[in-house]
Amino acid sequence: MKNILIIIFVFCAVLSSCSYDSGREEDNTPYFKFTPEDELILVKPELIGTSFKYKNQYDVVREFIINKCEIIKDAEVSGGGLGFFVSPATIDYYFDKQETEATYADENGSIRLSIFFHKRPQTSQYINHKYVYSNPKFRGFIDFSIFNKNCRDFDEGTCGWDEFSYASVIPLMTINGKEYKDVLKLISSNINTHPTNNEYNIYGRTVNKIYYSYDYCMIGYDEVDGTMWRLID
């Protein structure tokens, strides 16, 4: 019995030392974080639980409830998978990412607005059996479920997506007496209309212009039939 207790004690001591040693190892994996300048452009986290309200020229109002606005530490992973001879997954680098989601819903269906920002490297070089990543870039994207940017009849994978860096800039835009500076104007350049195939949702791909402000998020959008939706307080 005494020998068994000694063996158990030694075994526990070995496990404890292993855990301690691995805890002391420094993680040298690159981590690309948002800078203070980047944070000025991000969607303000305090918006969660509030809403965006848009009204058109016919006095119809759509209220988008903001149900998500968070910054997470994400990772670029390579390798891994199923099978006996597959190498374990490797984290190439970490990066900051912000995700914001807002949804409008009524008896006819729903519309989803998603806004993404991330900080990821643009350059990689293979040195000493390991990739070295550098030149991080801050990028922003919008995904509006009724925006017909990039829509194709044969491919819906990127439909509605656009990157802010491709937008033109309107120096000053006035909506209901309020001035918005440096407004990004995103335009669909492929098709004029793209109706939905879902019989339970009448909202198709009818939006061909989006107006975005880094201070106020999406401040308006236009549909192909001339309907204009603008942010209201």
- pLDDT for res 89: 78
In a domain, 183, yes or no: yes
Q: List residues bridging with 64 in a β-sheet.
A: 52
pLDDT(115) > 70? yes
Are 119 and 138 spatial neighbours (Cβ–Cβ below 8 Å)? Answer: yes
In a domain, 25, yes or no: no
Residue with tokens 């986290």, as numbered in its chain: 45
Q: Tell if the pTM clears 0.85, that is, is over it.
A: no
In a domain, 160, yes or no: yes
User: Domain span at residue 203?
Assistant: 30-232
In a domain, 39, yes or no: yes
In a domain, 6, yes or no: no
Nearest to 164 by CA among 218, 96, 204, 100: 218
In a domain, 101, yes or no: yes
User: What single DSSP character describes residue 215?
Assistant: T
SS3 126: strand
Strands, DSSP E only, in 178-227? 178-187, 207-213, 217-223
Q: Among 30-34, 133-137, 152-156, which range has the highest average pLDDT? A: 30-34
In a domain, 146, yes or no: yes
What's the structural domain count of the chain?
1
In a domain, 20, yes or no: no
- What gap in Å lies between CA 184 and CA 193, rounded to an integer? 22
Average pLDDT over residues 207-233: 94
Question: How many C-alpha atoms does 31 have within 13 Å on its Cβ side?
Answer: 11
Per-residue model confidence as pLDDT tens digits over 157-209: 678 899 999 999 999 999 999 999 999 999 986 565 556 666 667 888 889 99
Residue 79, both tokens: 């390798």
